[in-house]
Structure 1
C-alpha cells in the first residue's frame, strides 16, 4: 500500500474523479478527509465506500475563505497530522464567453481558482510551520493546456497550472506540488461539453482508449506517493497523446 498511514484531503469528493480518488486513496492505506458542498453526496459516498473507518466527511463551500479557514481549524484538533491535499473541486458551465453574466464568471473563478488557492495556502502554511513534508496535487485540464470552448473554465484551469508551479517554489523543499491535466473523462461534466468539442478532442488523440476517472485517480495516487518523490512543479497530461507539439 503506497499511502499507508497517510492523511489526505480531497475536495470535490462526492462525485466523479474526486469520488474515485477517495476510493483509491483508502484502498492504498490512507485516511481521507473528503470535502464537498454536497452533503447528500458525501453521505452517499460514506455508504458506498469500503473501510468506512478511514473516511471522514466535511461539507463546505470551498469558495468561502471563512469556511475553508474554519475547516482548517477543525483539522487542528481532529486531524493534526496531514500528508496530502488533492485540489479537485471544480465547476463547468459550458458557455460561450459572450453568454456569461458577471455572477457566473465570479462563480467559476471562485470555485476553480480561489478555492484551490485557499486550500493550498492554509495547507502549505500548516506544514511549513512544522517543517513537515507533504504533497499537493491540483486538478487542471486539457482545457487549461489548450484552451476551451468555455473560455472562463479554460482560463480557470490555466490558472491552476500557474498556481502549481508557484506553490512548488514557495513550498519547497517540504511540499511537492504537481498538477494533473486530463482530457475528457466520462463524468457528469462530460455530458454538457458541446458535441463538436468532443469530436475535436477525440480526433486529436493518438490512443483511442477512453480516459476514465479510475485512470486519473491512479495518477493522483502516484503523485501522492513516494514513488513520485522527484517530481514537483510538473503537469501530467492524461490525454491519449492529444495536441502533441
Structure 2
C-alpha cells in the first residue's frame, strides 16, 4: 500500500458500526492494517467476523472517555504496533435532545465521549509520533452541525469543538503530523435516524446534489486524508454535505 503514510497501521475509534465500520473496511481494502477500538466487545467481535477475520484487523475494547484506559491502550500500541501512523477520531454519541431537556450527567457524557475522547487520543498519538519526528495523519469526524447548528445543542457544541481541536493540533504537531476534519451532512446510519424529521427535510432541501451521503462516502474522504495524496492538507475541514451549506 502506497497511499497511507509508510504503509503503517491506522487506529479507528467507534469502529464497530456505522461510519467507523465503513472506514475500517476501506482501510483494509487499501491493504492498510487497522486497530479498531470500540466500547462494545460483542460489536468488535461481529466486526471481525464481518471482515472475514482478516489478519490485518486488530480489535481493542475501551472507553475512550476514560483517560487511564486511553493511556493503557497507547502503551499497547507502542509495544505491539510501533508502526502505527494514522488516527481516526470517529467515536461519538448523539442523544437527540433539546438543550432544555439535558441533565448534567448527560451533558458530561456527550462532552466526555465526543470531545475528551478525541483530545486523549490526539494527545497520546501525538506523543507516539511527534517526539520521534515520525510522519502521520489524524482525521477527526465532525459534522455539518458544527458549522450550521444542531437541534441538539450539546452535540453541535461537541462537533464544533472538534474543528477547533483540528486546527490547534495541526499547529501543535507541525510539520510531522497532518490533522484534518470531515464534516458530513446527514449520513444514513442508525444514529442519524434520531434527527427530527423536519430537520432532515430541511437539510435535504438545501442540498445541491440529490445523492444521499453513505458511510462509504465518508470513508472515501477519510482514507484520502490519511493518504499521501492529501500531503498538502492540514488544519482543514472537508464539507461532505452535497453543497447544502456553502462557505
Give me the TM-score of the superposition, normalised by structure 1: 0.98
Contact kept? 2:78, 2:128, Cα under 8 Å: no
Per the alignment, residue 47 of structure 1 pairs with 49
Contact kept? 1:6, 1:29, Cα under 8 Å: no
Q: Flag structure 2 segments of 5+ consecutive residues without an equivalent.
A: none
Which residue of 172, 177, 180 corresponds with 2:179?
177
- Distance, in Å, in 2 between the alignment partners of 1:39 and 1:50 is 17
Which residue of 211, 214, 222 corresponds with 2:224?
222
Per the alignment, residue 30 of structure 1 pairs with 32
Q: Flag structure 1 segments of 5+ consecutive residues without an equivalent.
A: none
For this pair of structures, how many residues does the alignment match? 245
Contact kept? 2:183, 2:239, Cα under 8 Å: yes
- Distance, in Å, in 1 between the alignment partners of 2:192 and 2:74 is 32
- Counterparts of residues 187-206 of structure 1 (less than 5 Å): 187-206=189-208
Structure 1 residue 73 corresponds to structure 2 residue 75: yes
Which residue of 188, 211, 230 corresponds with 1:209?
211
Give me the TM-score of the superposition, normalised by structure 2: 0.97
Kindly state the Cα deviation for residue 50 of structure 1 after the two structures are TM-superposed: 4.1
Contact kept? 1:181, 1:235, Cα under 8 Å: yes
Kindly state the Cα deviation for residue 51 of structure 1 after the two structures are TM-superposed: 6.3
- Distance, in Å, in 1 between the alignment partners of 2:144 and 2:93 is 15
Kindly state the Cα deviation for residue 5 of structure 1 after the two structures are TM-superposed: 2.8
Per the alignment, residue 129 of structure 1 pairs with 131
- Distance, in Å, in 2 between the alignment partners of 1:224 and 1:195 is 34
Per the alignment, residue 5 of structure 1 pairs with 7
Per the alignment, residue 242 of structure 1 pairs with 244
Per the alignment, residue 145 of structure 1 pairs with 147
- Distance, in Å, in 1 between the alignment partners of 2:48 and 2:245 is 38
- Distance, in Å, in 2 between the alignment partners of 1:6 and 1:81 is 5
Coordinate RMSD, CA, aligned? 1.0
Once superposed, which parts of structure 1, at least 4 consecutive aligned residues long, lie more than 3 Å away? none
Contact kept? 1:84, 1:136, Cα under 8 Å: yes
Per the alignment, residue 234 of structure 2 pairs with 232
Which residue of 79, 83, 86 corresponds with 1:84?
86
